[in-house]
A = this chain, B = another copy of it.
Amino acid sequence: MAEVRYAKAINMALDEALSEDPSVVLFGEDVAQAGGPFGVTRGLLDKHGELRVRDTPISEATIVGAAVGAAMSGLKPVVEIMFMDFVAISMDALVNQAAKARFMFGGQCTVPMVLRTPHGGGVNAGPQHSQCLEAWFAHIPGLKVVVPSNPSDANKLLKAAIADPDPVIFIENKAMYSLKGEMSETEEDVAIGKARIARSGTDVTIVSYGAAVNTALAAAKTLAQSNIEAEVIDLRSIQPWDEAAVLESLSRTHRLVILHEAVTSFGVGAEIAARMADIGFDELDAPIVRVGAPFMPVPFAKSLESQYLPNTDKVIAAVEQVLA
C-alpha cells in the first residue's frame, strides 16, 4: 500500500472524478494555473483543460452561487474557498440556495456540488484564517458536511462527495496537507454518514473528526500506558453523523469524551453530547466532557495559539475526569 500526503490524496480524487465524469468541473481562486494555494489542485488544469478547470476572481459569493446554478443545470461543480473563514461571504448561496433547492422545489432538482475548504489553526495564520465553522453547516438541513482525518479517507470521501447528488461541504485541514498516510485498498465501506472505529477500547469513548482524530489517537496511546483503553471514533462526516455508532460504543464504555478543534461552545460536540444525554442517558456513568477551543478568536502568536488548540494533554485530562 502506497503512502501519500493528504493534499495529494485529495488531488487524486479530483483527478479521478474529472477523468471519469465529464460533468465534473473545478473552479476557485488560484486553483488552475497556480495549482491551488496549498498545491492541492496541481496538474489538473493541464490534464483536464481550461473549459473544466478554472481560476476565478476573488468573488466568493458568486463562486458559490455559480456552483449552485451549475449544479442545477447538469454539472457537478467542485469549488474551493481558500480558507474556511471566507465562506462567511458565501453563506447565502450555500444556505439559502444550495441547501434549500431540492426541498423547496419539491424534489425537482438536486444540487450535486462540493465545496472544498480548509479549516483549522496550527500555522499562526491568525483570527481570520484559522476558524473551524463546521457547526454552521451542520445546523442547516440540506447540506452534508464531511471532515476526513487522514489521506485515505480524504480520497474516498471526496469521491463520495462528488458522486453525492446533494451539496456537500468537504472540510480539509490546512495543517494536515503534508501529512502522509497509507491509502487503504480494502473494499471497506467509506460512506458519508458512517463512522469508523479508529481504535477499539473498553473504558471510554472519544468521539472526534478531522485532524483532531489524530490527537485522540495519540492521547489513547498514552492512556494505554496507564491501562486505560480508550475507543476512538472518527465520525468522518458530521452531517449526517453516525449516532448509532456512537451510541453503540457508549453502551460498551459508558463514558464519553468529545473532541474537536472548533470552539467548544455551540460547536459540533454540543449536538453529540446533547443527543447522547437523551438517547444514551441510561448508558452514561459519568458526565459528558467536551474538549475544544476556548471561547475566543484564534490568536496569532505562537505561544497563544499553542495554548488555544486542543491537544493530547487536554484529552487525557478529560478522560481522567470522566473516569474519576
A127 near B100 (CB under 8 angstroms)?
A: yes
CA distance in complex: A274, B264 (Å) = 10
In the complex, A141 Cα to B132 Cα: how many Å?
12
Interchain nearest-CB distance for A98 vs B (Å): 11
Interface string of A209-247 (1 = CB under 8 A from B): 000000000000000000000000000000100000000
* Interface size range on A against B: 35 or more
A281 and B287 in contact, given A89-B92, A92-B88, A266-B135 (Cβ under 8 angstroms):
yes
| Listed residue (A88, A103, A268, A274) with the most chain B CB atoms within 10 angstroms of its CB | A274
Is the CB–CB distance between B287 and A277 below 8 Å?
yes
With both chains docked as a complex, state the minimum distance between the C-beta of A319 and any C-beta of chain B, in angstroms.
14
Give the segment of A4-12, A43-51, A175-183, A289-297 that binds chain B: A289-297
Taking the nearest CB of chain B, how far is it from the CB of A49, in angstroms?
33
With contact pairs A91-B88, A136-B136, A273-B270 given, residues A281 and B286 touching in the complex (Cβ less than 8 Å): yes
* A95-B88 CB under 8 A given contacts A141-B263, A290-B278: yes
Query: Which residues of chain B come closer than 8 Å to A63, judged between CB atoms?
Result: none
State whether A279 and B270 are in contact (beta carbons under 8 Å apart), knowing that A127-B104, A142-B297 are contacts in the complex: no
Determine whether A288 belongs to the interface, using a CB cutoff of 8 Å to chain B: yes
A276 to B274, CA, bound (A): 9
A190 close to B (CB within 8 Å): no
A252 touches B (CB below 8 Å) = no
Interface 0/1 of A241-272, CB less than 8 Å to B: 00000000000000000000011011111111
Residues of chain B contacted by A284 (CB below 8 angstroms): 277, 281
Q: 8 Å CB contacts to B: which residues of A61-96?
A: 61, 85-86, 88-89, 91-92, 94-96
Report if A302 contacts B (CB, 8 A): no
Give the residues in chain B near A271, CB-CB below 8 Å: 265-266, 270, 274
Q: Is A307 an interface residue (CB 8 A)?
A: no
Q: Cα distance A85–B91 when bound, in Å?
A: 10
- In the complex, which residues of chain B have a beta carbon less than 8 angstroms from the beta carbon of A138? 265-266
Closest chain B CB from A105 CB (angstroms): 10
In the assembled complex, the Cα of A284 lies from the Cα of B290 at a distance in Å of 18
**Complex: A136 Cα to B94 Cα, angstroms:** 14
On whether the beta carbons of A139 and B141 are closer than 8 Å, the reply is no
A128 at the interface (CB under 8 A from B): yes
Name A258's closest neighbour in chain B (CB-CB).
B274
Write 30 A-B pairs (CB below 8 A) sorted by A numbering. Answer: A61-B61, A89-B91, A91-B91, A100-B128, A103-B299, A104-B126, A104-B300, A135-B135, A135-B139, A135-B266, A138-B265, A139-B262, A139-B267, A141-B263, A141-B295, A141-B296, A141-B297, A142-B297, A239-B266, A265-B271, A266-B270, A270-B271, A270-B273, A271-B274, A273-B274, A274-B274, A274-B290, A278-B287, A281-B284, A281-B287
